[in-house]
Amino acid sequence: MRIGQGIDLHRVSESHERELWLGLVHVPDAPGLEGHSDADVATHALCDALLGAANLGDMGRHFPDTDPAFRDASSRQLLEATVALVRAQGFSVASADVTIIAERPHLAIYMPAMSQALSGVVGATVSVKATTAEGLGALGRAEGIGASAVVLVDEPA
């Protein structure tokens, strides 16, 4: 078995045109995040953890923000592509855990849907939880949202 870890952070957008997506779930009535794709930090952290567990680098290697093909890309598509890369190497996902760090919005009501959506793509249980930064630093001032993820994958036979 192998373990992978991923971390992602994005700044809150000043544009009212950006939607907030976290864990493949739309969070209405909240400002979106700046990013080349849809800036779903929870899903991006999970992608990086999966890639790390399979020794495949990171999202920047596979989905560079310099490539116009990934401009405003859905993180669902990025996660599907990541899972395909990991499976192509013979790995299977055993479980994953994602923690979102956000002062606001309050995310408790969205976490079951996030877990269900992520688990459906990954093919294994993905637990999702949230915490705050207790007012400390940029995340604590609600200038951005962050996420961390850890995954456990089974190595090829």
Q: Where exactly are the structural domains of the chain?
A: 2-154
Q: Over pLDDT 70: what percentage of the chain?
A: 100
- The pLDDT score that the predictor gives to residue 72 is 84
- For residue 95, list its beta bridge partners: 152
Assess whether pLDDT exceeds 90 at residue 71: no
Say if residue 134's pLDDT is above 90.
Answer: yes
* Averaged pLDDT of the chain: 96
- Domain 2-154, CATH homologous superfamily name and number: 2-C-methyl-D-erythritol 2,4-cyclodiphosphate synthase (3.30.1330.50)
Dihedral of the alpha carbons of 50, 94, 84, 117, in degrees to the nearest 10: -90
Share of residues in the chain with pLDDT > 90 (%): 89
For 109, the token pair is 């009501």
pLDDT at 15: 82
